[in-house]
Amino acid sequence: MARGNLAMAYDANGFYAEAISTYEEAAFLSPEEFRWPYYMGIVQSEIGDLQAAIQSVDLALNIDPLYAPALLRKSVWLVYEREFERADQSLQILLESDIPIHLRSIGNMARGRALIGMNNPQEAIELLEPLLGGMFDSQVRDPLRTAYRQD
């Protein structure tokens, strides 16, 4: 636990390389604790290493496979990396679980982007249109326009 707390302190103060190596140590010392690989993935994404971030979050998901924030982050990173099929698989797991409505909306937006990347605009439109007029309206318009153009 102490290593994990130290890693969080490094992370909070912008010492990202130190945070990553200390999160690795914390994960090694507490292999049942999902937080350390999850937080390490977040730091890795912040420095732009999305492939490492995805691997780290996969380690966390091996411990807690239905942790919604981890599934969502992983899926968004996979979309950024243009790994649309893997993102879609992860998002389907997320959307089939019992999650709060705001996470469901974010998951549907991410899945819409994955479906657009997989050349499935009609299904993306079906996911994205219900989000218009809600709190994510401005964030859904761009992918929805893309889906309409593909359709």
Distance CA 21, CA 118 (A): 36
Question: What does the pLDDT look like over 100-117, one tens digit per residue?
Answer: 988 899 999 999 999 999
Q: Residue for token digits 């549907």?
A: 108
How far apart are alpha carbons 66 and 97 in whole angstroms?
Answer: 7
pLDDT tens string 110-149: 999 999 999 999 999 999 999 999 888 888 999 999 999 9
Structure tokens at 107: 């998951």
Predicted confidence at residue 142, as pLDDT, reads 93
- For residue 1, pLDDT beyond 90: no
Other C-beta atoms closer than 10 Å to the C-beta of 82 total 9
Q: Where are the beta strands (DSSP E) in 1-143?
A: none
